[in-house]
Amino acid sequence: MDAAKVPSAPHRKEPPETMSTAETGHRVVVRELSETPLAGLDTSIDLVPMAPPDRAEVGPREVVVAIRSAAVGWVDLLMTSGQYQHLPTPPYTPGLEYAGVVEYAGSEAADTVRVGDRVLVDGFTAGPRSVGAYRAQGGFASWAVVPVEALHAVPGTLTLDQASILLGSYETAYHCLVARGRLRAGETVLVHGASGSVGLAAVHVAKLLGATVIATGRSAAKLAVVKAEGADHVVDIGPREGETGGVRRFRDEVKAVTDGRGVDVVYDGVGGEVSLESLRCVAFGARILVVGWASTPLVAKGRGERGAPNANQLPTNLVMMKGLDVLGCPTVISSLMDPTLRPPRLAQVLAWAAEGKIAPHVSHTFALADFRAAMRAKWAGDVIGGCVLHGTERDDAHRRQREEPAASAARSIGDRQRLDPPSTTRGSSAGFARDAGELGVRWPRAASMKALASSGERSSGSKTTWR
């Protein structure tokens, strides 16, 4: 789904003369996997100089993106310790999602994008969680070289900061609530961790679907923002003054809001004690959506040693007696296993953004050099919605541009056939089946697909372990 059409700038294959190809940028490098994400910040992750990409080495369908905004996500942190299901091979540059400006386009890509276009990079196609040849092109850097198929126009009036956190959060919310949760208008959904990027996206998506939203958190200040972002009810589940323990009993407040019936759907990205208490807040036959376990993040062993010695547990007696559907909701894995899931989801998220119906909330921004502070803020739960790194130190003018709406940016992608040429497999069933085949994932459509060709690969691959 393309962004709103705007007038195009004159076609240019070469970058502006004012862009110096001799200037130096920076990138973050994870040298080795750590025991925990925080432990690695001071011992195994560095900011190093980065030379501008050599245009002579840019392939015909490749694009140099000057990174302006990179999301700092929970997954970015877990990957540095090998405690996420997609196991990267160090050294690598983190940054699953990012947005920026086209600085140079290869000979074929120049027919699709133009210098100055505001774009977001699809994390399924490039970056440390992708498969194929572009895993090294993480967003914690000044530049990335990506295939033109990885680019989407920044939709609607989103800033680059907002665009950098759009797909991961809202595709997750859509997959969980729609594909897995079957949430319908008139139902009530309990959203845990509602002040996080994925939780706040769930609030927005659930309201668009016509549901009543009860949002939880442990900070009155954060919940005030969540309420302003559209939640119908908010419940502070943190301990009262003088109480001990991490989570207090909140079933009575949820039952009161639902006239004693309980909720139809639980969107649970928190886990632990929150999950246990949630089972006592539900109507008979409710759907429990397991989105994550932020309260117990160190489920797996550190340093990529795998296993799940600290796995969450649910009481099966309550699951049975309440007739509950407990549904795992791994968005990326599900999309690789069944490539038909993503195209309609992606189209809907981009359409909502283009129409102004969703707009990610960004509470914290940091310079790239302050990546450690940004990652600590995300881990500590200080962030409401998104946390973003600004990828270059040389872009005061571009910083102003980032805040301009796409509708008034003359450089925005125009009404030509740009980011979705018929030949590309980005977002298509064929493309995802191909990706699943490379990872060794087997399902009827993917079993016969060949691995992605390794020609033109810019980095060592990542080893992926599914469990």
| pLDDT at residue 400, rounded to an integer | 43
How many independent structural domains does the chain possess? 2
Together in a domain, 320 and 354: no
Together in a domain, 48 and 131: yes
Q: Which of these, 120, 109, 81, 144, lies nearest to 459 by C-alpha position?
A: 144
Look up the CATH number of the domain holding residue 320.
3.90.180.10
- End position of a domain, from candidates 328, 351, 366: 328
Together in a domain, 106 and 130: yes
- End position of a domain, from candidates 270, 296, 328: 328
Kindly provide the b/e burial profile for residues 405-414, where b requires at least 16 CB atoms within 10 angstroms of the residue's own CB: ebeebebbbb
Is 15 a domain residue?
no
**N-term to C-term CA, the chain:** 33
For residue 215, give its domain range.
182-328
Q: Which of these, 235, 192, 174, lies nearest to 358 by C-alpha position?
A: 174
Is 20 a domain residue?
no
Together in a domain, 58 and 98: yes
Is 50 a domain residue?
yes
Is 100 a domain residue?
yes
Is 3 a domain residue?
no
Together in a domain, 186 and 322: yes
pTM here? Answer: 0.82
Together in a domain, 222 and 90: no
Q: How far apart are CA 271 and CA 324, in angstroms?
A: 16
- End position of a domain, from candidates 308, 328, 348: 328
Amino acid 1 reads M
Together in a domain, 188 and 144: no
Is 173 a domain residue?
no
Amino acid 284 reads F
Is 31 a domain residue?
yes
Together in a domain, 162 and 192: no
Burial class for 321, CB neighbours closer than 10 Å (0-12, 13-18, 19+): exposed
Together in a domain, 193 and 324: yes
| pLDDT at residue 392, rounded to an integer | 66
Together in a domain, 96 and 116: yes
Together in a domain, 280 and 349: no
- Digitized pLDDT (tens) for each residue of the chain, 467 residues in all: 343 332 333 333 333 333 444 489 999 999 999 999 999 999 999 999 999 999 999 999 999 999 999 999 999 999 999 988 889 999 999 999 999 999 999 999 999 999 999 999 999 999 999 988 999 999 999 999 999 999 999 999 999 999 999 999 999 999 999 999 999 999 999 999 999 999 999 999 999 999 999 999 999 999 999 999 999 999 999 988 777 667 899 999 999 999 999 999 999 999 999 999 999 999 999 999 999 977 777 777 787 887 877 788 899 999 999 999 999 999 999 999 999 999 999 999 999 999 999 999 999 999 999 999 999 999 999 999 999 999 864 444 444 444 444 433 333 333 333 343 333 334 444 444 444 443 333 322 332 222 222 233 343 333 322 22
Is 334 a domain residue?
no
Query: Is the Cα dihedral 176, 178, 182, 188 positive or negative?
Result: positive
Together in a domain, 118 and 197: no
